[in-house]
Chains A and B, each alone.
Chain A
Amino acid sequence: MEIKIKNLKKYYNDKLVLKIEELHIEKRKITGIIGPNGAGKTTLLRIISGLDEDFSGRITYDNSTLNNNIYDNMTLVFQKPYLFRRSVYDNIAYPLKIRKKNKAEIDKRVSEMLNRLQIYNLKNEKAHLLSGGESQKVALARALIFKPKLVMLDEPTSNIDPESIKTIEKEIKNYNSNEKATIIIITHNLEQAKRLCDNTIYLENGRVNRINGFL
């Protein structure tokens, strides 16, 4: 999904936290957003994902404005993911259940996903009791299971173990190439940005400071 942002301005109680004149996010690419704390990275993703509609400017998704079809085809994984009070399996199955998929298909897709993220052993655990790294993997699995065309990830690997980081990065790469999906990832880790991203955006004080070429 191609995203075009024009004249975006976002205020929090009179304080301008985002001011982006023009920004394109390329379709089918992995775009990294980096920048210091408080730069406005999370705010930007919340706006693109449609969770925050209190802004001025224009955002288009494959040249159309936000509608239900787009909502159905994009997702955002929060920095601190909230998992439902049910099993890991049921968490990951949720997006398929509300899309009325049949049980056999759900079972097949969830099992595949559990294997890919190496959490099959957690299948029946209560999701809200998992550790940080495990939660991140479950949240990622739950977000990818319905094959969204636009995936936004807010620091998906901060504060987790190196093994989990590897698994998550691998899955992001795979998903991007297999599903031809557009991925936007906020990260603090420049090495990670180098490993994963086709494009990078440097955000500072709510403004796009540089695109590419600085890593």
Chain B
Amino acid sequence: MDYIINGIIEALKLLVSFNRELYEIIFLSVFVSSTATLISSIIFIPLGLYLGIKNFKGKKLFSRLLYTLMSIPSVVVGLLVAILLSRRGPLGFLELLYTPTAMIIAQSLLVTPLSLGLSYNLSKNRGKKIERVGITLGARGVKIIFLLIRELKIDLFINLVTVFSRAISEVGAVMIVGGNIKNRTRVITTSIAMFNSMGNYSTAIALGLVLLAISFIINSLIYSYHQEDY
């Protein structure tokens, strides 16, 4: 039992002493995952909203495919990106494997179906009604999409946070394309796995606490945002 308590105490010490390596890992995690979230959201939230209100052939099949892709395992995405970026792969000349850029690419790909699927679903359920009102007031095309974004902004914000949470908590993709290289591609999840296997529990616990804190902050944000509007 002692080593758990010691681990927690040591972890807190590392955190309050602003241990440099620890904070670099945290910073890279947040940077990679928020960039991936933004990249996937900018294109795929509007697209999801549009497809949700649009009637097209094969919409049912599209929904099913999308839901399948939403739960794609992160290691599969990691493997795919690693193959593409490996030296002999089609994008090997970019020399991106084992860089933060590769991690951003992998996470963007990983969360894109989620970004698309969540906004698609939202718009499929609630968008038609808003679109109809927009049309009766003279809005068309891109103005309808802007109207949807504004009307559904609370839910979209929650979706955004869900996407970020998925990104920052995954291990598989960043491990494979990043390689968990010291001072370069180490993020919270890959470090926890590594420190744990090295028996360095205090650092692993410290990072675990940070991950929990991030998710706590995010959820409080959602909550206060929700309150504000009602």
Is there contact, CB below 8 Å, between A75 and B137?
yes
Q: Give chain B residues whose Cβ lies under 8 Å from the Cβ of A146.
A: 137-138
Interface residues of B in 103-156 (CB under 8 A from A): 129-130, 132-133, 135-140, 143, 147, 150-151
Interface centre among A49, A51, A86, A98, by most chain B C-beta atoms within 10 angstroms, is A98
Residue B229, interface by CB 8 Å: yes
Q: Give chain B residues whose Cβ lies under 8 Å from the Cβ of A94.
A: 137
Is there contact, CB below 8 Å, between B229 and A71?
no
Interface flags for A172-210 (1: CB within 8 Å of B; 0: not) read 000000000000000000000000000000000000000
Q: Quick one: closest A residue to B230, CB to CB? A: A129
Residue A142, interface by CB 8 Å: yes
Q: Quick one: closest B residue to A52, CB to CB? A: B132
Interface centre among B130, B135, B138, B150, by most chain A C-beta atoms within 10 angstroms, is B138
Cα distance, A86 to B130, chains bound together (Å): 13
Cα distance, A149 to B143, chains bound together (Å): 22
CB within 8 Å of A: which residues of B? Answer: 129-130, 132-133, 135-140, 143, 147, 150-151, 229
13 contacts between A and B (CB under 8 A): A49-B136, A50-B135, A51-B132, A51-B136, A74-B136, A75-B136, A81-B133, A82-B132, A84-B133, A84-B147, A95-B138, A98-B139, A146-B138
Known: A94-B137, A95-B137. 18 other contacts (CB 8 A): A50-B135, A51-B135, A51-B136, A68-B140, A71-B135, A71-B138, A71-B140, A75-B136, A76-B136, A78-B133, A78-B136, A81-B133, A82-B133, A84-B147, A84-B150, A85-B229, A98-B137, A143-B136
